[in-house]
């Protein structure tokens, strides 16, 4: 019974977290394209994480911030995302981000209750 309740909590939490994206995907008009994300929280966060995945897909482990005009050297930040991009370089970066988010949302809930 305990595991059934935990499974229900995991499903509910992951569903609530990802509902805006799924809803936007389903309701996208046929003459437009879905950007790959919609969120309850700051949607610009998603763009930064996806750009880090894309940076990895371009063969870089170090992240170079694409959202600034200030010259800087690439840094060892967002390493998980750049590594994901390096490992799965032929997959759409928004899809990779959503898959990671599903997996780690569930793991977060499990870790919280264990």
The values of phi and psi at residue 107, to 5°, are -65, -35
Collapsed DSSP state (helix, strand, coil) of residue 82: helix
Q: What is the pLDDT of residue 18?
A: 80
| 40-87 tens-digit pLDDT | 676 678 888 999 999 999 999 999 888 888 999 999 999 999 999 999
Kindly state the DSSP code that residue 75 receives in the 8-state scheme: B
Model pTM score: 0.74
- Give the distance between the most distant pair of CA atoms in the chain: 56
Kindly state the DSSP code that residue 63 receives in the 8-state scheme: B
What gap in Å lies between CA 59 and CA 42, rounded to an integer?
Answer: 28
Q: What is the pLDDT of residue 81?
A: 94
What gap in Å lies between CA 40 and CA 44, rounded to an integer?
Answer: 11
């Amino acid at each position: 019974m305990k595991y059934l309740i935990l499974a229900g909590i995991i499903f509910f939490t992951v569903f609530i977290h990802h509902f805006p994206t799924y809803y936007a995907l389903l309701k996208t008009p046929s003459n437009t394209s879905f950007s790959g994300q919609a969120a309850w929280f700051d949607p610009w966060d998603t763009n930064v994480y996806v750009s880090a995945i894309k940076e990895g897909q371009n063969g870089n482990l170090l992240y170079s911030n694409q959202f600034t005009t200030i010259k800087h050297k690439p840094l060892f930040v967002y390493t998980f995302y750049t590594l994901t991009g390096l490992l799965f370089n032929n997959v759409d970066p928004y899809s990779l981000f959503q898959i990671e988010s599903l997996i780690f949302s569930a793991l977060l809930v499990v870790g919280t209750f264990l």
